[in-house]
Amino acid sequence: MMALDFNKKLWRIPQQGMVKGVCAGIAHYLDVPVKLVRIITVLAMLFGLFFFVVVAYIILTFALDPMPEGVMQNENGPTSSELLDAVDAQLSAGEQRLRELERYVTSDTFSLRSRFRQL
């Protein structure tokens, strides 16, 4: 089952495109192979939607911004194991701080200081 990421932006990808990169941008947005989008486009043109497909392609050519060079490299974010390691490190640090706080609150120094404040 395909899940769309609504934080993604629909771009034209002229670097990967045959004409203007519209099919490549749609394929990237939907996470499907570019060849599949191109085949669907050609089949739609052959089966009576020629005018609609050509008009939509021209509109998308001018409506979509070309993808900047660095966007594809930045999408390779951290893996799930890296994210879990980061969360584990944060939890360990929080647990350590909690232990230090508990040690201080249960110490004689804390009780002595709180008694002096009450005077």
Task: List the pLDDT tens digit at each of the 119 positions of the chain.
Answer: 455 555 677 777 777 777 788 888 888 888 888 888 889 888 988 888 888 888 988 888 888 878 777 666 555 566 777 778 888 899 999 999 999 988 888 888 888 888 888 87
Give the phi and the psi of residue 12 in degrees, each rounded to 5: -90, 140
Torsion sign across C-alpha atoms 44, 50, 53, 54:
positive
Model confidence over 68-95: pLDDT tens digits? 776 665 555 667 777 788 888 999 999 9
Identify the residue whose tokens are 């194991």. 81
Which DSSP category does 49 fall into?
I
What's the confidence (pLDDT) of residue 95?
Answer: 93
Contacting residues for 31 by C-beta, under 8 A, at least 6 apart? 2
What's the confidence (pLDDT) of residue 18?
Answer: 76
Burial (CB count within 10 angstroms: exposed 0-12, middle 13-18, buried 19+), residue 31:
exposed
What's the confidence (pLDDT) of residue 1?
Answer: 43
Question: In terms of Cα–Cα distance, which of 73, 80, 58, 55 is closest to 12?
Answer: 58
Q: Which two tokens stand for residue 67?
A: 């993808």
Q: For the chain, what percent of residues have pLDDT higher than 70?
A: 87
What's the confidence (pLDDT) of residue 77?
Answer: 62
